[in-house]
Structure 1
Amino acid sequence: MTEVLGRTGDDGISGHLGHYRARDGSAGASVRIDLDSPHVALVVGKRGYGKSYTLGVLVEELGEADGVAPVVADPMGAFTTFAKISGFEVISTPRVSANALPPRAWCDLLSLDHERPTGSLVWRAATESKALTEMKDFVAEADANRATRRAARNHLALAESWDIFSPDGITAADCVEPTSGIVLDCSGYDESAMNAVVRAVAEDLYRARIVESVRKLPWLVVDEAHAFFGGVANPALRTIITRGRRPGVSFVAATQRPAVLPEVAVSQSDLLVAHRLTSRNDRDALAHARPAYMQGSFADRMPETPGSAVVVDDATESVHAVRIRKRQVEHGGGSPSASGACSGESEPNSPATELRKR
């Protein structure tokens, strides 16, 4: 019998995650994951043990499922290989409209206090404008002293230098309706710029489902999630985590540093996929947020090899040892090596290579 993680019933769409992992390392029965209902999922693990690989498996399954659409925020360029899959779109320089960010987000993005003159001016510019050029014009003509206008202009020039704002920026409809899935390749952006992109996209996905302007249910998939919870994207991600279930917006985060995530990101996840973790702080963070599962079987079955994982399923209140299936498309997140560069082969100890051996 095939197990479907994330639900108690037998009906609905699901995706193939892998197989049960016996104590001797052999593969058991097939394990699937529920894609029919909204979920908050967390994939954790130290570098090189398969968390991004597992994220790719989930994205592949979402791309093949009806009624859902994966939207991948890719800060490392690990998912650009999805361009090889028919129906997937990889955007190498994703841009968003300036008015996709609320005024408070503009102040946070530019490290401005909205109660001080420069921050207040940028806030008003964002409130009255739809595009970055309009914001600049508003500042230039504002009834404010010269020093305040100059400071606001300099901050907006910084935002303009990121080259991420466009009146034709990507929308929820662009992400969800016309494709099997979309990858927002933010690897060329610094942390502030990619946070702005994810903040705008996350808020638009949530709003679009609130008013039901998109039919498919979006799954926002964020790799290296600690970089976004620590930036301007944080409020939008928290909104999806805490309120996304009702409108049908799912969230999947992957990180090698669960200890630096906000507690809500761990405690509210109904599916937790844990690869190898050795940091005591990271283990303690999971134990603090999920005390019922971090005792006994979870700790005893913590995986030791790349591609192996322990899955905590809140729907059935159970813990499962699994081996993640092989990817259909080449994994773009493995680490290179000098010997591999000479021979033209993949890094021998990368998760992708380890999984291909099985």
Structure 2
Amino acid sequence: MNNLFIGKDKKTDEDAFIDASKSRAILICGKRGSGKSYTLGNLAEELQSNCKDALCLIIDPMGIYWTMCNPNYDQENVLWEWGLSPRGLNVKILVPGDPKNRYGDEVVNVMEEHGVQFQSISLNPSDISPDGWCDLFNLSINDAMGIVLYRAVQGLKKQYKNDFYIKDIINSIEYDPKANDKSREALLNRLEMANSWGLFGDTYTNTWDSFDTNSVNIVDLSVLDPGRYGTRNLVVSIFCRDLFTKRTEARRREELGLSTSTPKVWLMIDEAHQFAPSGKSTLSKELLVRWVKEGRQPGLSLVVATQQPSAIDHEVLSQCDIVISHKITTKEDVDALNKLSQDYMGGELKTYIRNIKGNGEAVMVDDENEKVSMIQIRPRKCKHGGGEHKEKNKY
């Protein structure tokens, strides 16, 4: 069964579903407190329950999705009215660095008592392109420091391919006869600092080995400072590149009738404007644009959630075949969504958005079926970690 039950049509009272038998690109949006993170969690619940052949991966910049391990007893009565019941899911948190260093021993122990699995993830320095290393430190490849760093990483890739680490980049720069002392010292300071972030490994690790198809996989980026270089975007870019490569290889085997152990992927990103922003570049943006444009064939789906649709790159927005919009009020955001209006709607999208009354209501545009409807999002079966914890009697 690949239908994701997300709520009811407010006009017909019929169940509202999303067909997950194929790759999808979905936008979920709404102003703060309107329910966009709640709805993203809803999709994750349905995927984990009904799509056993898919990997569910949530990029979590706020650290709120781990609570999916707990049943939603706060809304038990409302769930019963919908014919549903509280239920927790297997949750695996992928933490950049050591979980106990990031959260503290006491927090980790309590979360493990709730059934949360922890997986420390380390990034492979060799997975980052020479351009990516320069972007990480905001260096131009035309400036002295950028040229030295680019040359060091490029040389190591030619020599070692996937088997070099930060210490090797440091050594290469230290012994670069073309580097001046000022550039060398500044770069070594930056690389030593990067080594202290706890993000990079000193042995090669396969990203795919970190995932568990029997769990909701959550990459918790809340432990990383959003203002420190581009570390959050760096993590997303490396994960996206690796998943794209693995699924492309798997699809080739599937077309040849060969077996593969690499499942299809549903990548879900909250606060997505941080990773594919409009009007500026990030380490992850180019990969996400490629994912949403080319991901259908290799079996890659994308769900992006944001409070600010106007802040997401239009190339991502325009590729979404399903839009679920909660209440939006700012003119910039309404205008950005309204550009997605289609002839079959019988009116502009902004007209539907204005008719949204309360939390949990949304406009759903299904471009594939050329259908627009007002829906009531179903209550969550798992505990919702976002919002202000006033959702007991919602929906």
Determine whether 1:71 maps to 2:57: yes
1:301 aligns with 2:348: no
Deviation at 1:88, TM superposition (A): 2.5
Corresponding position: 1:251 with 2:302: yes
Match of 1:3 in 2: none
Tell me the equivalent position of 2:269: 222
Where does structure 1 lack aligned partners over 5 or more consecutive residues?
Answer: 1-11, 336-345
The reply on whether 1:275 has 2:329 as its aligned counterpart is: no
Q: CA deviation at 1:295?
A: 6.6
Give 2:243's aligned residue: 205
The answer to whether the 8 Å contact 2:145/2:184 transfers is yes
Q: Quote the Cα distance in structure 2 between the aligned partners of 1:147 and 1:317.
A: 60
Matched, 1:311 2:346: no
> What amino acid does structure 2 have at the position aligned with 1:308?
E
Aligned to 1:80: 66
Output the CA distance in 1 between the equivalents of 2:203 and 2:89.
Answer: 24
CA RMSD after TM alignment: 2.2
> 1:256-283: CA deviations, max 9, x gaps?
1111111111111011110000001001
Work out whether residues 207 and 239 of structure 2, in 8 Å CA contact, stay in contact via their aligned partners in 1. Answer: yes
Equivalent position SS for 1:269:
coil
Structure 1 contact 177–216 (Cα < 8 Å) conserved: no
Q: Deviations over 1:108-165 (max 9, x none)?
A: 1110101222112222333316322222222222222211211221222332233222
1:23-75 CA distances to partner (integer Å, 9 max, x unpaired)? Answer: xxxx8111111111111111111000000000001111111221111111100
Q: Of residues 304, 313, 319 in structure 2, which corresponds to 1:262?
A: 313
Residue 242 to residue 116, structure 1, CA distance change in 2 (3 Å): same
Mapped partners of 1:182, 1:121: distance in 2? 38
- Describe the shift of the 1:197–1:298 C-alpha distance in structure 2 as closer, same or farther (beyond 3 A): same
Give the stretch that moved more between structures: 268-277 or 226-235: 226-235
* Alpha-carbon offset, residue 83 of structure 1: 4.1
Task: Determine the structure 1 residue equivalent to 2:114.
Answer: none
Q: Which amino acid aligns with 2:265?
A: P
Which one is further off, 278-287 or 154-163? 154-163
Partners in 2 of 1:102 and 1:218 — Cα distance? 24
Selected match of 1:187 from 222, 238, 241: 222
Structure 1 residue matching 2:222: 3-state secondary structure: coil
Q: Which amino acid aligns with 1:122?
A: L
Q: TM-score, structure 2 length as denominator?
A: 0.77
Q: Distance in 1 between matches of 2:293 and 2:191?
A: 32
Choose which of 343, 366, 375 in structure 2 pairs with 1:322: 375
Compared with structure 1, are the counterparts of its residues 290 and 232 closer, same or farther at alpha carbon in structure 2 (3 Å cutoff)?
farther
**Contact kept in structure 2, 1:175 and 1:181, CA below 8 Å:** no
Give the length in aligned residue pairs. 327
Who is 2:28 aligned against?
43
Report how far residue 289 of structure 1 moved. Answer: 4.0
Which runs of 5 or more structure 2 residues have no equivalent in the other structure? 71-87, 97-120, 158-163, 251-259
What is the CA–CA distance in structure 2 between the aligned matches of 1:190 and 1:52, rounded to whole Å?
A: 21
Partners of 1:300 and 1:285 in 2: CA distance: 13
Amino acid at match of 2:17: R
How far apart are the structure 2 equivalents of 1:89 and 1:139?
38
After TM superposition, the structure 1 stretch with the greater mean CA deviation from structure 2, 126-135 or 194-203, is 126-135
Partner-residue secondary structure (3-state), 2:133? helix
Q: Distance in 1 between matches of 2:294 and 2:236?
A: 17
Equivalent residue in structure 1 for 2:190, among 135, 148, 155: 155
For 2:387 and 2:173, locate their aligned partners in 1 and report how far apart those are by CA, in whole Å: 46
> Cα offset for 1:20?
1.1
Q: List aligned pairs for 1:56-205, cutoff 5 A.
A: 56-64=41-49, 65-84=51-70, 85-93=88-96, 94-127=121-154, 128=156, 130-143=164-177, 144-167=179-202, 171-176=206-211, 178-191=213-226, 192-205=230-243
Distance 1:214 1:160 in 2: 33
Q: Distance in 2 between matches of 1:56 and 1:92?
A: 19
**Aligned partners of 1:287 and 1:293 also within 8 Å:** no
Cα gap change, 1:52 to 1:90, in 2 (>3 Å): same
Deviations along 1:202-238, one digit per CA (max 9) or x if unpaired, are 1111011111165210111110001111322111111
Q: Out of 232-241 and 130-139, give the one that drifted further.
A: 130-139
Residues 208 and 214 of structure 1 are in contact (CA less than 8 Å); yes or no, is this contact kept in structure 2? no
Out of 142-151 and 246-255, give the one that drifted further: 142-151
Identity of aligned residues (%): 31
> 1:322, CA displacement in angstroms?
0.9
> What is residue 286 of structure 1 aligned with on the other side?
337
Task: Name the aligned partner's letter for residue 168 of structure 2.
Answer: E
TM-score by length of 1: 0.85
1-structure distance, mates of 2:307, 2:139: 30
Corresponding residue SS for 1:316: coil
